[in-house]
Amino acid sequence: MNHKVEVLADKTALIERSLELVRAKIDEAIQQGDRCTIALAGGSTPKPLYESLATLNLPWEKIHIFWGDERYVPPTDPDSNQLMARQAWLDRVNFPDANIHPIPTQGKDPVTDAQRHEAQLQEFFAISPGEFPNFDIILLGIGDDAHTASLFPHTEALQVRDRLVTVGNKDGQPRITFTVPLINHAHNVFFLVAGSSKKQALEQIFAAEADPLTYPARLIQPVGELWWLLVQ
């Protein structure tokens, strides 16, 4: 069974376990394909994981970094997921700049930038339109409303099945996000979830029946391994 759930004692244990698993999957991907592709999550929960990864001696030249979603703000904005990851990890090690593949957010149109990033992914993974790449690792979290990446309840982004990247919407603010099928083609998807405020969302995500358009994280069912690492 590729669906694994672990409940950890506290946030420290969550980060230790996620670091152990992510490092193992990085090693596995490099052994099998001589590179590892990782899509990062934003938010406060994964930040200590990035800080821990910065302490390791890994073959950075074989690791390629992407983001599962991004707010439509400049990369220097305090709300930028890219900025957080750079400060916590990427700028603290000898990481090749060519191996960092941020979502473009400095155009004037998020739809155009989403299309641009899709083309970048197609070029990197050498795939044709209509094909989906297999990321080695995708890191995700959930919100209190059970959204993940920038796939929010009852938004058009949830319905996109023929694209790699689309525009999400959070209270009228555009975001650029991986689509459900792109995430579901990953070899390993990790949800890192901490906080009592997520309890109700988790109950619906794991319920035998619930509307995935109301609880979008239910849509994430990857072809590879699905890990839920939880602190409640």
**CA-CA distances (angstroms) from residue 157 to 21, 32, 134, 174?**
30, 33, 20, 11
Residue of 148, 214, 144 whose CA lies nearest to 180? 148
pTM for the model: 0.98
Answer yes or no: is pLDDT of 232 > 80.
no
Q: What are the phi and psi torsion angles at 155 (to 5°)?
A: -115, 160
Say what the pLDDT of residue 231 is.
95
> What percent of the chain has a predicted confidence (pLDDT) above 70?
100
Residue of 189, 139, 181, 208 whose CA lies nearest to 2? 189
Residues 132-152 have a mean pLDDT of: 98
Name the domain count of the chain.
1
**CA-CA distances (angstroms) from residue 103 to 12, 74, 93, 144, 191?**
30, 10, 21, 25, 21
**CA-CA distances (angstroms) from residue 88 to 33, 114, 168?**
27, 25, 25
Q: 57-96 pLDDT, tens per residue?
A: 999 999 999 999 999 999 999 999 999 999 999 999 999 9
> 132 is in which domain, residue-wise?
2-231
Answer yes or no: is pLDDT of 7 > 90.
yes
Count CA atoms within 13 Å of residue 30 on its CB side: 14
CATH number of the domain bearing residue 194: 3.40.50.1360
